[in-house]
């Protein structure tokens, strides 16, 4: 049976570490870390995600500075809100919840977030920092995958890694982080020929294609470690990009959906916020192992 890469368990452990860091730094900082999750419009899935993030904040002692703007808010007003949060000394992290309502362009709004408060790690400057191996907030989902792999002592250096997907949100930063950890990385995408032949080379396979059950037994080298980033609702049940039933018997280790990468994404959002708070107040922190 494959080892389960349990994101829920690791996220809870990270939350305990963050609570301890906050408790220790509170006297020097004089205030708790603050995260602002900015939501525009009423996308129902976003409502659930934002609520989960705010609950996670309150569990570890991060104060939430949420804002919910109407779907018809003009871009200039959203920008003004982002600038207010940039200037607010009690806010260490800002997250603009995506997707935005139609008619609001993501790029100028994401670019307006102070890069040092970029809790999602998606600002162009922070993607550049990742590319160059410089310190900075890291994209939460791939950083969560790295933490999960490291906690299970999955060998990464020298491994043949295949990432299926090349989005800015997941695939590209994932490939960079694996490469920085000395894996030999191949990135597959929708135009890749003979996907199964490519993925069967993988000692470590990360599926981030956004296609339910795309990856089946035929795509797996026996003994591979399989990470499923995908999340879909199919026939009322959550599933990923990996067909868990057929892949699990072949894999050495695998993430479940739900309970794998999802909780790790939220945990890394908290990590980025707490690290920014520590940096702002000159506090040392023992979180370097979580920053790929
Ligand atoms: P995305 O922006 O739609 O990108 C999907 C990528 O997969 C693209 O690069 C696309 O190729 C590639 N692709 C699509 N179909 C493919 C196929 N048949 N074969 C090979 N590659 C294919 O999606 P995303 O934002 O990266 O998200 C991917 C999945 O992860 C989604 O299910 C999303 O919901 C989930 N997600 C989960 C979390 C979490 O916390 N668990 C966080 C973020 C995202 P092209 O570039 O050629 O179009």
3-state secondary structure of 5: coil
- The residues of the chain scoring below 70 in pLDDT are none
Quick: pLDDT tens for 42-88. Answer: 998 899 999 999 999 999 999 999 899 999 999 999 999 999 999 99
Segments of 87-245 assigned E as strands: 93-96, 160-164, 184-188, 204-207, 225-228, 232-234, 237-239
Q: Tell which atom from ligand 1 comes closest to the C-alpha of 264.
A: 40
Considering the candidates 6, 81, 92, 97, report the single residue annotated as catalytic.
97
> CB of 189 closer than 6 A to ligand 1?
yes
- Give the rounded percent of residues in the chain with a pLDDT score beyond 70: 100
Measuring CA to CA, which residue among 66, 74, 71, 70 is closest to residue 95?
Answer: 66
Catalytic (active site) residue 97: yes
Residue 99 neighbours by CB under 8 Å, 6+ apart: 43, 46
**Ligand 1: residue whose CA is nearest its atom 25:** 169
β 93-96/253-254 pair status: unpaired
Tokens of 9: 């368990």
Per-residue three-class SS string for 169-212: CCHHHHHHHHHHCCCEEEEECCCCCCHHHHHCCCCEEEECCCCC
Helices and strands, counts by H and E, the chain = 10, 12
pLDDT for 247: 98
> Catalytic residue at 284?
no
pLDDT computed for residue 219 by the predictor? 99
Please tell me the distance from the alpha carbon of residue 85 to that of residue 276, in angstroms, as a whole number.
14
pLDDT for res 216? 98
Give the per-residue pLDDT at 45.
87
Residue whose C-alpha is closest to residue 286's, from 28, 31, 17: 17
Pocket test for ligand 1, best of 167, 195, 197, 243 (most atoms within 8 A of CB): 167
**Could you say which DSSP state residue 121 is in?**
S
**What was the pLDDT predicted at 206?**
99
Q: What pLDDT shows up at residue 44?
A: 86
- pTM: predicted TM-score of the whole model, two decimal places: 0.98
Q: Is the CB of 206 under 6 A from ligand 1?
A: no
Residue 113's pLDDT is what? 98
Does 120 qualify as catalytic in the annotation?
A: yes
């Amino acid at each position: 049976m494959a080892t389960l890469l349990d994101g829920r368990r690791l996220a809870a452990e990270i939350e305990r570490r963050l609570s301890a860091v906050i408790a220790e730094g509170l006297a020097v900082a004089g205030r708790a870390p603050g995260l602002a999750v900015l939501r525009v419009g009423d996308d129902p899935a976003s409502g659930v995600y934002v609520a989960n993030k705010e609950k996670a904040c309150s569990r570890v002692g991060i104060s939430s500075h949420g804002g919910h703007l109407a779907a018809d808010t003009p871009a200039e007003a959203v920008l003004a809100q982002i600038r207010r949060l940039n200037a607010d000394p009690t806010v260490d992290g800002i997250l603009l919840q995506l997707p935005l309502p139609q008619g609001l362009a993501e790029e100028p709004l994401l670019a307006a977030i102070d890069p040092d408060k970029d809790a999602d790690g998606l600002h162009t400057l922070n993607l550049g920092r990742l590319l160059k191996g410089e310190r900075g907030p890291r994209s939460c989902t791939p950083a969560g995958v790295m933490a999960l792999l490291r906690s299970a002592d999955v060998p990464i250096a020298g491994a043949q890694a295949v990432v299926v997907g090349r989005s800015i949100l997941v695939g590209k930063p994932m490939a960079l982080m694996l490469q920085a950890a000395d894996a030999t990385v191949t990135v597959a995408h929708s135009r890749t020929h003979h996907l199964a032949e490519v993925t069967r080379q993988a000692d470590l396979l990360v599926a981030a294609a956004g296609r339910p059950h795309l990856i089946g037994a035929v795509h797996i080298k026996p003994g591979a470690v399989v990470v499923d980033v995908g999340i879909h609702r199919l026939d009322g049940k959550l599933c990923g990009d990996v067909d868990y039933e057929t892949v699990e018997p072949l894999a050495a280790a695998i993430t479940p959906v739900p309970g794998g990468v999802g909780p790790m994404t939220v945990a890394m959002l908290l990590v980025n916020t707490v690290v920014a708070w520590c940096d702002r107040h000159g506090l040392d922190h023992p979180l370097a192992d979580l920053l790929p």
